[in-house]
Structure 1
Amino acid sequence: MTEVKKMRALVVFESMFGNTEQIALAVADGLQSAYDVDVLNVDEAPPAIPSDIDLLVVGAPTHAFGLSRRQTRSDAATRTQGETVTKYKSVRDWLTSTSRSQNRVYAAAFGTHADKARLLPGSAARGAAKLLRRKRFDTLVKPANFFVEDVLGPLQSGEVSRAKIWGAEIAAKRVAMDMDRS
């Protein structure tokens, strides 16, 4: 029996209080049907996307209607007793400076968003998706938002399960694309 080689995915997240990290891990879990997945805090993300990566998924918390900036991260750090999960970089800065190989790389973006701000415009997910398109990644799905009860969290009930399903849907869509080509 021939072993089927899985594609490789990289999930990069920025997280202040751990909520976005939980979603990143759940998305990675959902992707595992089709992918070998590495999950990295943006502080540890490589300056260039490795050439064997087929899918890049990025996630970040929504700050002031979009991706975080230095000042919004500083403000968030004052809200917690301990240290923030991501300490040095932002998804915005990383995506702006990262490079990728000439290989086609598919992408998806998600964000966490306070439920009480659900109806306000802007989200980290949409901001990240826009940067991905600008860097010429092929986005597979619309950006997704996952909701927290309040700024510090916790995640709303069911959001981790929804994130795992979202990851599985991305994997299924990517596999279907390959099947359509053959």
Structure 2
Amino acid sequence: MSILIVTESYFGNTSTIAESVAEGITEVLGDGQASIITAGETGTALPAGLTAVIVAAPTHDFSLPNPRTREQARGKGAATSTTRGVREWIEALQPVAGLQVVTIDTSTKTPFTSGTASKTAYKLLKKRGFTDARRGPSFHVADIPGPLLDQELLRANQWAQGFARSLSD
């Protein structure tokens, strides 16, 4: 099995969640079964032989980051030079029928959320022809730059273990 985790991160929170997800997958499926790459480093075609893809992005303005929100993040101290994120990657991505794709995100925890990065990514993937796309969980940060709330790394790891087990059933 091979699971690719595609990330976009500005303050390190989404990258940290992706690492915890990769560790959870590795704990279930073994070494070398999960790899992480940024959306800016990926091409428009997914590698052959993937079992699943996990797409991880931060929530910006109740959606996926875009050029305006990336600039705002840089203004708040984000260390990045990325111009192509998950949104642009999905828009250019060649669909793979039958490939499981799960979207996750980081976001602030609020009583009511009208949108998240994972919801937007899911909709874009479905529109691109990824018929087996689905939404995964949101992992919460205390504020825009973070940090992650207590137990979110553990929750990400446990979610990933369950996801990995579901692939091997």
**What's the TM-score, normalizing by structure 1?**
0.84
- Correspondent of 1:39 among 36, 50, 57: 36
Q: Distance in 2 between matches of 1:71 and 1:99?
A: 25
How far does the alpha carbon of each residue in 1:14-59 deviate from its partner, in whole angstroms, 9 at most, with x for none?
A: 0010000000111111112236111011111222101111101001
| Aligned-partner Cα distance in 2 for 1:162–1:17 | 19
The reply to whether residue 135 of structure 1 matches residue 131 of structure 2 is no
What is the Cα-based RMSD across aligned positions, in Å? 1.7
Structure 2: tracts of 5 or more residues without a match:
none
**Contact 1:108 1:142 (C-alpha < 8 Å) held by counterparts:** yes
Task: Please give the per-residue CA displacement for 1:59-102, whole angstroms capped at 9, x wherever unaligned.
Answer: 1000111111110111111000x623x62211011011011455
After TM superposition, list the pairs within 5 Å mapping 1:163-174 onto structure 2. Answer: 163-174=156-167
- The list of structure 1 runs, each at least 4 consecutive aligned residues, that deviate by more than 6 angstroms after superposition, is none
Task: Provide the identity percentage.
Answer: 31
SS in structure 2 opposite 1:162? Answer: helix
| Residue correspondence of structure 1 range 75-154 to structure 2 within 5 A | 75-80=72-77, 83-84=79-80, 87-101=82-96, 104-115=98-109, 117-137=110-130, 138-139=132-133, 142-154=135-147
1: CA distance, partners of 2:113 / 2:89? 25
* Residue pair 2:40, 2:82 contacting (<8 A) in 1 also: yes
Length, aligned pairs only:
165
Structure 1 residue aligned with 2:67: 70
Larger radius of gyration: 1
Alignment correspondent of 1:29: 23
DSSP-derived class of the 2:2 partner = strand
